[in-house]
Amino acid sequence: MTTLQTVFEKARAEKRAALVGYLPAGFPSAEGAIAAATTMVEGGCDVIEIGLPYSDPLMDGPTIQDAVHRALVNGTRIADVLRTVEAVAATGAATLVMTYWNPVDRYGLERFARDLAAAGGAGTITPDLTPEEAGPWLEASAAAGIDTVFLVAPSSTDARIEKVVRCCTGFVYAASLMGVTGARETLSAAAEGLVKRTREHTGLPVCVGLGVSNGAQAAEVAAYADGVIVGSAFIRRLLDAPDEAAGLAAVRELAEELAAGVRA
Amino acid sequence: MSEATMLSAADLAGPGPDEHGRFGIFGGRFVPEALIPALDEVEKVYREARNDPEFIRELDHLLRTYAGRPTPITEARRFAEHAGGARILLKREDLNHTGAHKINNVLGQALLTKRLGKTRVIAETGAGQHGVATATAAALLGLECVIYMGAVDCERQALNVARMKLLGAEVVPVHTGSKTLKDAINEAFRDWVTNVDNTHYVFGTVAGPHPFPEIVRDFARIIGVEARRQVLELTGRLPDAVAACVGGGSNAIGIFHAFLDDTDVQLHGYEAAGHGLESGEHALTLTAGSVGVLHGARTYVLQDDEGQTIESHSISAGLDYPGVGPEHAWLKDSGRAVYHGVTDEAAMEAFALLARTEGIIPAIESSHALAGALELGRELGPDATILVNLSGRGDKDMGTAMKYFNL
Ligand SMILES: Cc1ncc(COP(=O)(O)O)c(C=O)c1O
């Protein structure tokens, strides 16, 4: 298994930011997600976040909502998510699961951490698990040897940032803007300040997500962050493609563009 | 000279939750970090407000001169003949301005919005009553207002959609998921996280992340505070039982709360059993759900074995919700309140019965509590007194009733 630590050390040695791609399991199909994530790795993604499809994705915009809805209609289960992680981790990319809290809560914390580690997963990103509620999950994750990534936002006070980074291992996820997931034409100016403020509280890498959709934006973010996170833009390519082959080609093209961006 | 207020700071401040917003294991906050500062701010401003005599005075004034409080108690004698002769007292929240208990919470939160310095309010709505109340308060206080409503609910509560529009609100139909209340809440949260700078989310029930379950409850407490006093005056003693319908749980917690320490008073909540437990088409969150996290709080949830929310069903849009307020989860587990299911059919029977026996057309939501009271009366016998929260009126439900009864 490739760890987040290895990824960021390598990127740092190459004097570039890491590229993190997101895709929900089960979209466009169970096998299609594995193919797409593998293509993202081939195109230059260092880290893959596999989304665990959830019925009530209240911090996601229309693009991810659409993909997740299709994944659920396809009957995607947690076993499929773990199978996807296993296949993607085998490519050599550090592979995380991004999930709303309730599915993990229901599955069982120890069991989820153990099964994810066994599948070769490097850790989780849990956007609606607050530090106040995170204690048992931090314990279960530490016991299984997986990383725990949490989010800070432009609205976070310094005291909140301090609380959140204390829960993080691997990296800190800085949400670039106040809003839901989805590609944006221009990036929010808030992101750079947030990364700076976050660095005052932690030596962990800080990655920026929400809104990044092209190589130029990736380069812009890479200038001040340790990693660039892209989700909706990949999904958009798959949604808009006339068939799977065209979708994969478009995903590869975007990954290559972004990979060039983080090296600019 | 300032006039004496009907409302006191003590009426607002109910016991619980703890500093993390937990009622036992329930409640808390499971939300994106971006919303934490907003929730902290709402909590802080609310705590200041409820101890500020000026805030109490303003709210009291609106409740009396605008909402029409205190609402009366009506004894339902002819209806009670069908309840084994038990005495049935109706707390007439249907007589509030805008037609339901929702206005109590909304007026409080609209005043909070002013204190927060925000100019825009958003809300979710199921039956449309909370949306109408929010649009009303927004019109009164000059706030911009956007209401999220599931597309299915827009259709079955079309009258309320028209009312909200007339009141100057924008109504956004939500087409995702089950197209009902839960999806409207998702969409309202998405708006809030995007526009939190100028926007307050007027949450409509005692669910959601802390501090909403506490704030909405405190603004709904007036129902029980008044009713307890009124029943004592009328009958010289406390009721044997209190009955209320439970969607998210605001009208129920509102009437229960003043009786929590009166351990001889039974508290009964009625959830929507839809087509019945076995059919799988119901909203029996407390009766048939399991503990999980939904909409920012740990509570009972209708969910599958992997934590995916199961769509609820009820003929009444206001009870059609697969979650429930965390304080109800706690009252259930502690045994202080008991929760039951009432089918669509039983609710519609009670709906028609109250109309014919008392000349009162109740909301279909409230009809679940009425159906519960009929059963409870037969159980407790003719010496019992049952206080029922008549949470709203049925004008909004005429379309559903016309179809159901072929009127
Ligand atoms: C009249 C009436 N009663 C009850 C409810 C259910 O909400 P709650 O359980 O929060 O009281 C609604 C919701 O729309 C309503 O309009």
Q: What is the mean pLDDT of chain B?
A: 96
Identify the pLDDT of residue A75: 97
Q: How far is CA B287 from the centre of its chain?
A: 18
pLDDT at residue B1, rounded to an integer: 37
Would you state the pLDDT for residue B14? 74
* Cβ(B129) – ligand 1 distance below 6 Å: yes
Q: Answer yes or no: is pLDDT of A116 > 60.
A: yes
The torsion region of residue B75 among left (phi > 0), alpha (psi -120 to 50) and beta comes to beta
Mutate to test the pocket of ligand 1, among B365, B370, B393, B395 (most ligand atoms within 8 A of CB): B365
Distances (CA, A) of A25 to A36, A57, A143, A147: 10, 14, 25, 20
* pLDDT tens figures, B349-378: 999 999 999 999 999 999 999 999 999 999
Rounded to two decimals, the ipTM of the complex is: 0.96
- Separation of alpha carbons A108 and A104, rounded Å: 6
Cis peptide before A127 (omega within 30 of 0): no
For B186, nearest residue in chain A (alpha carbons): A58
Distance of residue A40 Cα from the nearest chain B Cα, in angstroms: 27
Whether the CB of A25 is below 8 Å from some CB of chain B: the reply is no
Contact yes or no for A179 and B308 at CB 8 A: no
Q: pLDDT (tens digit, 9 = 90+) per residue, A2-17?
A: 999 999 999 999 999 9
Question: Over 80: is that where the pLDDT of B179 sits?
Answer: yes
Q: State both tokens at B250.
A: 């605001």
In the predicted model, what is the mean pLDDT of residues A33-43? Answer: 98
| B283 CA from centroid of ligand 1 (Å) | 13
Q: How remote is the CA of residue B265 from the centroid of ligand 1, in Å?
A: 22
3-state secondary structure of B342: strand
What mean pLDDT do residues B28-49 have? Answer: 97
In this structure, are residues B283 and B271 in contact, taking their beta carbons and an 8 Å threshold?
A: yes
Name chain A contacts of B194, Cβ cutoff 8 Å: 178-180
Percent of chain B with pLDDT over 70: 99
The pLDDT tens digits for B51-105 are 999 999 999 999 999 999 999 999 999 999 999 999 999 999 999 999 999 999 9
Strand B297-301, strand B290-294: pairing? antiparallel
Give the phi and the psi of residue B192 in degrees, each rounded to 5.
-60, -45
B391 assigned to active site: yes
User: Which pLDDT does position A247 carry in this prediction?
Assistant: 98
* Local structure of A109: helix, strand or coil: helix
Distance between CA atoms of residues A24 and A196, nearest Å: 30
* Measured distance CA(B343)–CA(B362) in Å, rounded: 16
- Listing DSSP states for B240-307 in one string gives SEEEEE-SSSHHHHHHHGGGTT-TTSEEEEEEEEET-GGGT-S--HHHH-EEEEETTEEEEE-B-TTS
Does position B2 have pLDDT exceeding 50, yes or no?
no
pLDDT over 70 (residue A54) = yes
Q: Which two structure tokens, joined as six digits, stand for A61?
A: 């915009």
Does residue B318 have its Cβ closer than 6 Å to ligand 1? yes
Put simply, the answer to whether A101 touches B293 (Cβ < 8 Å) is yes
Is pLDDT above 60 for B3?
Answer: no
Q: For B109-121, how does the pLDDT look when each residue is reduced to its tens digit (9 = 90+)?
A: 999 999 999 999 9
The SS3 of residue A13 is helix
- Give the pLDDT confidence of B376-401 residue by residue, as tens digits: 999 999 999 999 999 999 999 999 99
Ligand 1 in reach of B325 Cβ (< 6 A): no
Q: pLDDT band for position B10 (50/70/90)?
A: confident
Measured CA to CA, the distance from residue B221 to residue B227 in angstroms comes to 10
How many CB pairs below 8 Å do chains A and B form together? 109
3-state class (DSSP) for residue B397: helix
Q: What is the DSSP string of A171-212?
A: -EEEE-SSS-S---SS--THHHHHHHHHHTT-SS-EEEESS-
> How far does the centroid of ligand 1 lie from the alpha carbon of residue B251, in Å?
6
B149 membership: H or E segment, kind and range: strand B144-150
Interval B146-173 mean pLDDT: 96
The mean pLDDT value of chain A amounts to 97
pLDDT-based confidence at residue B269 (cuts at 50, 70, 90): very high
